[in-house]
Amino acid sequence: MTQIRDTKTQIDSDIGIIATDVHKWYGNHFHVLRGVSLTVKRGEVVVIMGPSGSGKSTFIRTFNALEEFQKGSIIVDGINLSHDIKNIEAIRREVGMVFQQFNLFPHLSVLENVTLAPIWVRRWPKAKAEEIAMQLLERVGILEQAQKFPGQLSGGQQQRVAIARALAMQPKIMLFDEPTSALDPEMVREVLDVMRNLADSGMTMVVVTHEVGFAREVADRIVLMADGILVEEATPEEFFQNAKEERTRKFLSQIL
Amino acid sequence: MKTLENQQLSQPKITRITPKEWLQQNLFSTWYNSLLTIVLLAGISWGIYGFFKWAIAVAEWEVIKVNLPLFMVGRYPKDQYWRIWLIVGIISSFAGLSWGVIGRKAATLFTIPVLIVLGIISAISLLIPGAVPFKLLLILMVGLVVGNGWIGKQLGNKITTLGRWLSFGWFIAFLLILWLMLGGLGIKSVSTNDWGGLMLTIFMAVVSIFLSFPLGVLLALGRQSTLPVIKIFSIAYIEIFRGLPLISILFMGQIMIPLFLPEGMRPDRVLRAILGLTLFSSAYLAENVRGGLQSVPRGQIEAAKALGLNTPLVLALIVLPQALKVAIPSIVGQFISLFQDTTLLAIVGLVELLGMSRSILAQPQFLGDYAEVYLFNGILFWIICYAMSLGSRQLEKKLNTGH
Ligand SMILES: Nc1ncnc2c1ncn2[C@@H]1O[C@H](COP(=O)(O)OP(=O)(O)O)[C@@H](O)[C@H]1O
Ligand SMILES: [Mg+2]
């Protein structure tokens, strides 16, 4: 640990997230994360797979401090999350998150959803925030809907707006928690395409997903989580063709 | 079969029914339904007939006509009535401006329902008994609303920040109105003891509404707070004031506070009344707002936090706008009952509309005119409360973003 802090500048340059032996309990008895370690390098795309209820959401949400953890350490973008509570908002500015249920703000227009945080958190002038928001909306293919409200869009469109909203803060890391699980099948593709482009542009991404195709093509590494521990960590080829762990093979046989 | 289907496709069945069919289907569908309809119709007609017979032949409307100024403004000095008219003028102008700004995107402000309402108000203004200048002043007020509505629409489309300036304008207008009512600073001062009638009712209700709203929101947030002191204080406040009848709070304000405080340090009685109404109403508002707060999904808060917003910003930009929107009907309901509850102040000796009515009825020449006076009271209250609930429905419609 001390070594990590001493060489902070070096870590800043090539490591996005380093989680070491993270433990979390819900209440006193339910040990949901049981010693999870994961390192995500800058520019890397890490996909987390695993059965439902295994703790994937809980784990990914510790990276932007939406969940607390009780033991271990997490360093995100060079800032240690475990001890310094003051850094929470600093971390969240640099880490974007996309949720399964989109969570767009229903009382704000699409454009206002995207410009809200840049204006209030980054303190950008409205004109600048709107200009960048329009560029992002164009990038995710929602430009024509900028003045509409989230309730007037399809699920796929909403999720693309949610991605644009997160990107508007110009984050260094993006977290995706099952971004396509709440979508009708015909809309999955449009969201995955946006994520693929984002990965191609060099974004550091941690993605919880069941989309095998996406994982196979986009991931640099895939990890399998089961019962609160990381069972396997492998490149996509290894993961899908010759997984080392029995648990992984069992999981793959269920989803493929 | 095929031809039948084709026919139905080419000639969609028209579901419009004639009035006669409607009557048959809804009121005379079975023999007992028909019987019920006839009995009810007879009862209603008999009631309406009785009412009009009374209203035209028996009722003595003199009491309303003679005492109209007392009903409206109490014992406010006659030579200062111009100040009241100025106040009504200010309110009409700002109401018109706000209406225009809010409706700036609409094709026209003067839709048919609006024209009908304006027509009715103008007709009433002209038809009610009274001197010609009085009628002209009423018409002028309608004119101010309409004219400023038009101006507001024109300006609102040119200056996008006008809405924000308007809230500020209302605040300045309120201070101006307060000065006009109280006097001083160059105009004759009028003691609040001389305020009365509808003017006092509306003044107390409006000020209490504007004070209790922020207080209620703060209490609702306090109740959800993670800081124990704030949480306990909020819960205690809410539960204590919800457990007390309003009348006992008002009694305490009017009768007990003077016992504790020496002469000269006693706050004004209108102020005490407003304080009582505000304390009481904010406890109920807090519960209405809490209902709204609970309806905001956790995902909203998480999404806002994930963007780096701190807690005050999450509350102000994400949680409260959604919570208040959900709570509008119950909040407006609370405002309406607050407005009606001002009548309780008659019991502790204030001469708001009801108190003034009671003191008019106590005069020998109007003894026994209860029905006329209370009917008049009822109509005034109904108009104002109905306007509030219409306003709330408009607001809900305007805030509806399709989710
Ligand atoms: N707030 C909570 N309190 C208690 N248990 C929870 C809470 N959130 C999640 N859990 C439980 O923790 C386990 C892991 O949940 P989660 O991280 O959402 O799994 P996954 O995303 O892999 O499906 C599940 O058994 C779930 O029921
Ligand atoms: Mg999950």
The CB-side HSE value for B209 (13 A sphere, CA atoms) comes to: 19
Which ligand has the nearest atom to the CA of B298? 1
Nearest to A167 by CA among A239, A115, A104, A119: A115
Beta carbons within 10 angstroms of residue A207's beta carbon: 27
Same domain, B291 and B399: yes
What confidence tens digit (pLDDT) does each residue in A198-235 have?
999 999 999 999 999 999 999 999 999 999 999 999 99
A130-143 per-position pLDDT tens digit: 999 999 999 999 99
| Contact (CB, 8 A) for A37 and A71 | no
Does the CB of B317 have a partner CB in chain A at under 8 Å?
Answer: yes
- Number of residues that this document lists for chain B: 403
pLDDT at A215: 96
Task: Assess whether B276 and B141 both reside in one domain.
Answer: no
Total count of domains within chain B: 2
Write down the pLDDT at residue B269.
86
Considering the domain architecture, whether residues B178 and B247 belong to the same structural domain is answered as no
Residue B24 counted as domain residue: no
Nearest atom of ligand 1 to the alpha carbon of A59: 17
Same domain as B313, residue B185: no
What are the mean pLDDT values of chain B's consecutive 10-residue runs (403 residues total)?
Answer: 44 68 82 89 94 87 87 91 93 92 84 87 82 88 93 88 87 94 89 91 94 96 94 96 93 82 78 93 96 96 96 95 93 94 91 92 88 92 90 84 65
Please indicate whether, in this complex, the C-beta atoms of A103 and B303 are within 8 angstroms of each other: yes
pLDDT score for B243: 93
pLDDT of residue A114: 97
- Cα four-point dihedral sign B246, B247, B253, B257: negative
Where a domain ends, among B190, B214, B233? B190
- Are B215 and B258 part of one and the same domain? yes
Same domain, B242 and B168: no
Query: Which letter, b or e, does each residue of A48-61 get, where b requires 16 or more Cβ atoms within 10 Å of its Cβ?
Result: bbbbeebbbbbbbb
Residue A12: per-residue pLDDT: 55
DSSP H or E segment with residue A31: strand A30-41
- With a CB cutoff of 8 Å and minimum separation 6, the contacts of A80 are A5, A73, A74, A87
B315 and B185 inside one domain: no
Are B237 and B377 in the same domain?
A: yes
Q: Does residue B119 form part of some domain?
A: yes
| Boundary residue ending a domain (B138, B167, B190) | B190
| pLDDT tens digits, one per residue of A147-167 | 999 999 999 999 999 999 999
Burial of A75 (0-12, 13-18, 19+ CB in 10 A): buried
The pLDDT assigned to A2 comes to: 42
Q: How far apart are CA B152 and CA A176, in angstroms?
A: 47
CA distance B149 to A48: 59
Q: Is B195 in the same domain as B165?
A: no
Q: Are residues B176 and B277 in the same domain?
A: no
B17-42 in b/e burial notation, b at 16+ Cβ within 10 A? eeeeeeeeeeeeeeeeeeeeeeeeee
**% of chain A surpassing 70 pLDDT:** 94
A162-189 average pLDDT score: 96
CATH code of B329's domain: 1.10.3720.10
Query: What distance in angstroms lies between residue A11's CA and the mean position of ligand 2's atoms?
Result: 29
B241 lies in the same domain as B310 = yes
Q: What is the pLDDT of residues B261-295, one digit of tens each?
A: 777 777 788 999 999 999 999 999 999 999 999 99
Instruction: Name the residue range of residue B155's domain.
Output: 77-190
Please, which residues bridge with residue A76 across strands? A17, A79
> Which protein residues have their CB within 5 A of the ion that is ligand 2?
A 57
B154–chain A nearest CA distance, Å: 23
* Ligand 1 pocket: which of A22, A29, A54, A58 to mutate (most atoms within 8 A of CB): A58
**Residue type present at position A161:** V
Share of chain A above pLDDT 90, in %: 86
In a domain, residue B277? The reply is: yes
Does residue B351 share a domain with residue B282?
yes
Q: The whole model's pTM is what?
A: 0.84
Q: Which of B190, B210, B239 is the last residue of a domain?
A: B190
In a domain? residue B11: no
Q: What is the average per-residue pLDDT within A45-73?
A: 95
| Atom number, ligand 1, closest to the C-alpha of residue A26 | 4
What ipTM was predicted for this assembly? 0.92
Question: What long-range pairs does B265-272 form, CB within 8 A, spacing at least 24?
Answer: B268/B192, B269/B192, B269/B193, B269/B350, B270/B192, B270/B195, B270/B200, B270/B203, B270/B204, B270/B350, B271/B192
Secondary structure class of A173 (helix, strand, coil): strand
- For residue B186, with 0-12 CB atoms within 10 Å meaning exposed, 13-18 middle and 19 or more buried, which class applies? exposed
| Exposed / middle / buried, residue B94 (Cβ in 10 Å: 0-12, 13-18, 19+) | buried
Examine residue B46 and state whether it is found in any structural domain, yes or no: no
B307 and A165 within 8 Å at the Cβ level: the answer is yes
Bridge partners of residue A49, in order along the sequence: A224
Residues whose CB falls within 8 Å of the CB of residue A195, separated by 6 or more in sequence, listed in order? A163, A176, A179, A205, A207, A214, A218
Is B185 inside a domain boundary? yes
A208 and A195 Cβ atoms separated by less than 8 Å: no
| Cβ neighbours of residue B165 closer than 8 Å, sequence gap 6 or more | B159
Domain membership flag for residue B9: no
The CA distance from B37 to B29, in Å, is: 10
B8 domain residue, yes or no? no
**Token pair in block for residue A158:** 């909403």
